[in-house]
Amino acid sequence: MMEIDSGACLVQATLVNTGSSPLRVKGFRWQHDPAVKGGPALHFPDALRPQVFATENLRGDYFGTGTVEGDRYAYPLTNQHVEYGHAEDSVFPGVFIAAAEAPVGIFIAQASQNRLFAFFRFKGKMEHQEKWLFEIEERVTGISSIEIPPGATLCGERLFFQIVDTSDPQQATATYFRHLSTSGAFARRADNPLPAQRIYCTWNYDFMADIDTEKVLGQIPVLKKHFPMVKFLQIDDGYQRCHAPGQRAMIDLCYGDLETPWDPARFPEGPKAVADAIKAEGLRPAIWLGLWASSGSKMIQGHPDWVLRDDTGAPWTFDAWYGGTVILDPSVPGVRDYLHRMCATVFGEWGFEGVKLDFSSFAFNAKRVRFRHPGKSAVELRHELETIFRRHLPQDGFFGWCVVAGTAQPFLAQADYFRNAVDIGRGDWETAKRIAMWTANTRLFLQEAPCLPNIDSIGWSAAFDETCWLSWLNFCAISGGALEVSGDLRKLPEARLERLSRTLALSDPSRRVRCPGLGSARGTPPPVWIATGAAETLVGVFNWTDSPARIDLADAVGQIPAGTATDPWTGAADPLTASIELSAHASRLWLLASAVASL
């Protein structure tokens, strides 16, 4: 054990094979030993009403692979058996156990993730005591075990523990992120282009997959006039050629026929000419790739051994999407060789400078995956995949993990963003609310961002009424991250374009985003959002309900900086009050100076 700060320490398990034969190890388990009097246990008196914060608490609305319901941020600590770590999303690798009745808690998280995933297991109360049976298991995934040769050592992950004087998880992680920064987890952030160079993406609001050269290049004059922050033009799904069954190529777009890798009817010039045209206008071309292949593709027909399988031996397939798709097995040398060739073509020969890697979490996060080749774990292969793409991208090009639902994964070491919510799609209020729920979940622990969260994009949709559209933009402004722009901008009037551009300028990724009162929130996004930066702070109040509501800011007292409040859209003085009446779906946004004081 190593103490790194007041009340904070790191622990790490090591196992040395002192025998003469190889050992096979599944991982490490940290548990209470009842034979050791006074040994470690989770000690929380009932009177304090302990509860557990974990980003996996909310995950039940997507993949119900955990042991909680999925509609809140905190669960009371009870005798129910609860285990965190099974979700197929990119969840935060830690938990915060806090008292509901006092400002005290203990924060526990992985401080490294080089080979193993951590699982956190609550098994109920010890008999006649105010102590709780609690275990941490570090487990290899993707393969059944790790082989340790004679004389070799297996090191577990570094685990971080800290007792803190707060019951708010958003204020419990400062020491943790300072440690991650000194250990190199933030190294990529220095070259991350996205805080200054934003992305236009072709997917949401209008086009979806219905794109062609004219629609893509037609956005450039509007971008250059109204969106000076946008430097990347990302061509999303829809550019690919089709296989004989009518399915679009995915990751296999560079397999076989390279004469027509893109749909010749939509993009007759081909990918290099389109990328060159974007560069000629002073923008940077980027591309969408899906890390899977259609089941009827020549790649899969010729290499059935490239298909990822689960623990029953069945292929990892998704029949409902794109006419049937299969996931590639990253442990197969032929798959990795192909990915190198594909990246050399897309980024080297064609000249694309950024990539959104969609549907990319299944092979690494799903705990039921079993790789064909047992040498490396899922975590190791995730790092290797990042390395393959980084080798071929420009140093200041972007790499984005479009995971199923990222929730503050701090160990995507070579990525620039991770998607932390569903697509906004055509744009509608219910989807906006769902994105807000997931974003609050992301910010539960992620007050510092080695890799930026990405909530998708702003644009205009007829599915929003004016109130909902303005609230969606207010939310996008305050939630920060790697915010994008989408839709057919050519059809929008000047006023809407100016509002969108101002939203992008307000969404500062460096701000720390907090939501007071997350411990009691359930089934709806939190109403109050505070985004604190070095020079200024945004405060947002949202009525997510379908009826008028009065929003009380009392829980935010002490977290909102003092200063003259202004309307960020007009610049006019706009005093911030302790409560506000809002109509259904309405919101308000204030801009303040950042001197910290009470409301």
- pLDDT greater than 70 at residue 66: no
pLDDT for res 212: 97
CB-CB contact of 382 with 322 (8 Å): no
- pLDDT greater than 90 at residue 156: yes
DSSP at 187: G
| Amino acid code (one letter) for 41 | A
Q: How many CB atoms sit inside 10 A of residue 274's CB?
A: 24
pLDDT grade for 5, boundaries at 50, 70 and 90: confident
Q: What is the DSSP string of 287-300?
A: EEEESEEETTSHHH
Burial class (CB in 10 A: 0-12, 13-18, 19+), 93: buried
Least confident of 156-165, 396-405, 464-473: 396-405
Q: Pick from 248, 480, 198: which is nearest to 359 by CA?
A: 248
pLDDT for res 595: 45
- pLDDT greater than 80 at residue 501: yes
The token pair at 54 is: 């974990």
More confident residue, 575 or 460: 460
pLDDT for res 594: 65
pLDDT for res 174: 94
More confident residue, 363 or 120: 120
Q: Pick from 421, 543, 477, 373: which is nearest to 485 by CA?
A: 477
* Helix orientation angle between 466-479 and 429-442, rounded to the nearest 10 degrees: 20
pLDDT for res 127: 67
Q: Pick from 21, 94, 25: which is nearest to 55 by CA?
A: 94
- Taking residues 325-342, what's their average pLDDT? 95
More confident residue, 408 or 378: 378
CB-CB contact of 218 with 252 (8 Å): no
How far apart are the C-alpha atoms of 452 and 429, rounded to whole Å? 24
pLDDT for res 555: 67
Cα 226–Cα 500–Cα 466 angle in degrees, nearest 5: 140
Torsion of CA 272, 277, 281, 285, to 10 degrees: -30
The token pair at 486 is: 């989408």
DSSP at 301: H
Map 448-464 to HEC letters.
CCCCEEECCEECCCCCC
CB-CB contact of 512 with 565 (8 Å): no
CB-CB contact of 315 with 306 (8 Å): no
Q: How many CB atoms sit inside 10 A of residue 465's CB?
A: 10
pLDDT for res 58: 81
Q: Structurally, what CATH architecture does the domain formed by 527-593 represent?
A: Sandwich (2.60)
Least confident of 64-78, 84-98, 491-505: 64-78
- Taking residues 163-173, what's their average pLDDT? 95
Structure-token match 């080297």, residue found: 348
CB-CB contact of 481 with 454 (8 Å): yes
Q: How many CB atoms sit inside 10 A of residue 423's CB?
A: 17
Burial class (CB in 10 A: 0-12, 13-18, 19+), 314: exposed
Beta bridge partners of 83: 121
Contacts 24+ apart (CB under 8 A), 269-274: 269/213, 271/239, 271/346, 271/350, 271/352, 272/349, 272/350, 272/351, 274/213, 274/216, 274/217, 274/235
Q: Structurally, what CATH architecture does the domain formed by 188-514 represent?
A: Alpha-Beta Barrel (3.20)
How far apart are the C-alpha atoms of 497 and 495, rounded to whole Å? 5
pLDDT for res 584: 98
pLDDT grade for 128, boundaries at 50, 70 and 90: low
pTM of the predicted structure, to 2 decimals? 0.94
More confident residue, 523 or 585: 585
pLDDT for res 86: 76
- Taking residues 502-528, what's their average pLDDT? 90
Q: Do domains 2-183 and 527-593 have the same CATH topology?
A: no
* Helix orientation angle between 378-392 and 333-343, rounded to the nearest 10 degrees: 20
Q: How many CB atoms sit inside 10 A of residue 217's CB?
A: 17
- Taking residues 268-297, what's their average pLDDT? 95
| Amino acid code (one letter) for 477 | A
Structure-token match 């963003």, residue found: 417
pLDDT for res 361: 82
pLDDT grade for 170, boundaries at 50, 70 and 90: very high
Per residue in 390-439, pLDDT (tens digit) is 999 999 999 999 875 667 889 998 999 999 888 999 999 999 998 999 89
Q: What is the DSSP string of 49-95?
A: -EEEE-GGGGGGGT---SSS-SSBSEEE--SS-EEES--SSB--SEE
Q: Pick from 112, 52, 41, 47: which is nearest to 84 by CA?
A: 52
Q: How many CB atoms sit inside 10 A of residue 17's CB?
A: 17
- Quote the percentage of the chain above a pLDDT of 90: 68
How far apart are the C-alpha atoms of 273 and 266, rounded to whole Å? 13
- Taking residues 468-485, what's their average pLDDT? 96
pLDDT for res 271: 97
How far apart are the C-alpha atoms of 477 and 479, rounded to whole Å? 6
- pLDDT greater than 70 at residue 559: no
| Amino acid code (one letter) for 132 | W
- Taking residues 354-367, what's their average pLDDT? 88
CB-CB contact of 235 with 216 (8 Å): yes
The domain made up of 2-183 is a member of CATH 2.70.98.60: yes
- pLDDT greater than 70 at residue 558: no
The token pair at 283 is: 């923008």
How far apart are the C-alpha atoms of 417 and 435, rounded to whole Å? 16
- pLDDT greater than 60 at residue 157: yes
Q: Pick from 462, 457, 471, 467: which is nearest to 492 by CA?
A: 462
How far apart are the C-alpha atoms of 279 and 212, rounded to whole Å? 17
Beta bridge partners of 52: 75, 97
pLDDT for res 205: 95
How far apart are the C-alpha atoms of 344 and 348, rounded to whole Å? 5
Burial class (CB in 10 A: 0-12, 13-18, 19+), 443: buried
Domain ranges of the chain: 2-183, 188-514, 527-593
Range with top average pLDDT, 38-42, 515-519, 565-569:
565-569
Q: Pick from 260, 327, 258: which is nearest to 295 by CA?
A: 327
Structure-token match 């006419």, residue found: 323
pLDDT grade for 458, boundaries at 50, 70 and 90: very high
How far apart are the C-alpha atoms of 325 and 297, rounded to whole Å? 9
More confident residue, 596 or 72: 72
- pLDDT greater than 50 at residue 597: no
Q: How far is CA 244 from CA 68, 300, 449, in A?
A: 43, 13, 43
CB-CB contact of 376 with 384 (8 Å): yes
Average pLDDT, the chain: 90
